Amino acid sequence: MNKIIGEIKNSVLVGDYENIGFLCKNALEVGETPQAITDVLANSMCEVANIFGKKGMYLDKVFLSSAAFKYGTTVINSTIEKTKKPKGKVVIGVPDGPWTIGPDIVMAVLSARGYEVYNAGSDVGPHVIANKAKEVGADIVTTGLYLSYRIHMLEELEEDLKKLGIRHKIKTIISGPAANKSVAARVGADAYGINALEIVDIIDKFIEADKKKMTGKERVMTAIDLKEPDRVPLVPFAMTFSAKQYGIPFSEYVSKGKSLAEAEVSTARRFGWDAVIASCDTAVFAEPVGAQSIIPDDDVPRVTSAAIRWDNAVEDFKKLKDPAAYVGVGRLGEYLSSVKYMKEMVGDELAIIGWTEGPFQGAMLLMGADPQAMFLLHQAKPLMNEILEWYSEYAFQCAKVFVNNGADIIASGASVSYFLSPEAFEEFVLPYEQKLYKRINDELGVKVLIHSCGYVPQCLKFAPLVNAGGLIQFDYQVGLKWAKKLVGDRITLMGNLDCNRILDMGTPEKVEKACRKAIEVAAEGGGFLLSGGCEIPRDMPYENMDRMLKACIKYGTYPINK
């Protein structure tokens, strides 16, 4: 250590605040860098804090040392070029007491290394720190824990960041005399730093890693191209769960496009999803055509009378107008508008999926989902083909509105279709899905996501034929490893966790284990989105949903490590 650097260190240790400014300026004049001087100031102050904590030191001496440290960093910070773009934004705060020396050291070192630093304050509530992070668009939040019985405040901070929809975008670091790696793991922080210099080194690594981080939309679209994104995308299909999380009754969710959009975006940001899905209920497509339904206050709407009665199908079908005449009518118009609001809220941050019904499933819904309508497959094939042609156009017109409003992907409900026998599928599903999905690809320029929950292995082989280059979501009953081998090199797979026994009723550890298994068997090479096999249950525990994102990051970062 040269003489001038040694004198700076000694000035901090003895509290010589009157001469440290001169020493720092002199050090700059002889060629020492601002970072080198800041590091010695920080190291010296860390040594003072260590002596105070372990050996004992008079408080007035600590105060003088702190003053010397602050004067020195003020001189150095005044020389740092402020016109350069900051390396990142860091918010610092202490939620459990009026402690300032530690934060001062960290802020000084970060400023010297080119970071934009915001002090949320000491002895402030976790919500104050979280709100500051959202206000400034922070990349990092670092906090100090000085009293062990205040650990719950760090847990509250993690929850506050989630509620603000920013936790998945930032990294959290804890330090302080009552913190360690175990505490960091317990509260859900990303890292623990033992002192100011280690914290800064951790932040440097996080910021460097973030340069390779994709947006949710980029992540999803890369996976759909059968390529490996930065990590496995997380795309749960949720409706009642989202309405509950947002705090609105499901009747409002299905009746107001803006409410649906706000609920989906709020939930996606709360849990770090990579896409939002505009979906509400099957009755919304049947109502404009003439079906009757009931809409409970906080439950899923149900069709009560069919638009096409299977035993009067010829006459009822003749009454239908051109499909385009029904698009935008009643609740359907509100529903289709939800994507416009989503686009305004997320831009290109998240992928947006607009939900329609496939030709066969949609036709069955117009018939009130009456199983007896299946007789038309045998007794009135020409009529059934006409109905399927009509519904294909209806679905296309709905998809067109969605895409014009900002949808990146069109989902197509097809569960009933994939329950059919292979023979019936080839006759009544394959040609219509193939034609419709090709039109959506060619004319609208987006990919299609087939949704097929239930036990449907008999028709899975047809998915790449009807939806080349698209996606399919199927349920837990279908072996994911088998599906990956069968069609995974031709179509993107989405799923397929057991929504009830695993996601809703399982423990967080069980959820993580199931996510890890799915990632290991299906994620390699891209072409995989982690999700439930069907809709996420309304009452799925939030800690289980949080564990899905953690699993994507822990096990799903490419290259996949098995």
On the CB side of 491, how many CA atoms lie within 13 Å of its CA? 23
Please tell me the pTM assigned to this model: 0.88
* Mean pLDDT, range 278-304, rounded to an integer: 92
pLDDT tens digits along 64-74: 888 888 889 88
Cis peptide before 496 (omega within 30 of 0): yes
CA separation (Å) from 135 to 88, 91, 129, 153, 241? Answer: 14, 10, 10, 20, 27
Q: Is 122 helix (H, G, I), strand (E, B) or coil?
A: strand
H or E, element range at 450: strand 447-452
Render pLDDT for 312-340 as a digit per residue (tens, 0 to 9): 989 999 999 999 999 989 999 999 999 99
Q: Residue 528: which pLDDT band, with cuts at 50, 70 and 90?
A: very high
Of residues 510 and 102, the one with the higher pLDDT is: 510
Read off the pLDDT of residues 374-391 as tens digits, 9 standing for 90 and up. 888 888 899 999 999 999
Nearest by Cα to 475 from 491, 451, 458, 492: 451
Contact 531, 494 (CB under 8 A): yes
Q: Please check whether the domain covering 216-249+348-555 is classified as CATH 1.20.1070.10.
A: no
Contact 493, 460 (CB under 8 A): no
Nearest to 418 by CA among 384, 455, 447: 455
Give backbone dihedrals phi and psi of 353, rounded to 5 degrees, phi first.
Answer: -115, 120
For the chain, the structural domain boundaries read 216-249+348-555
Nearest C-alpha neighbor of 418 from the set 474, 465, 363:
474
Gap between the Cα atoms of 21 and 13, Å rounded: 15
The CA-to-CA distance between both ends of the chain, in Å, stands at 47
Q: Where are the beta strands (DSSP E) in 149-207?
A: 171-175, 191-192
Residue with tokens 């932040």: 203
Residue type, 208: E
What is residue 54's predicted lDDT score, i.e. its pLDDT?
Answer: 67
* pLDDT > 70? residue 53: no
pLDDT above 70 covers a percentage of the chain that reads: 96
CB distance 447 to 441 below 8 Å: yes
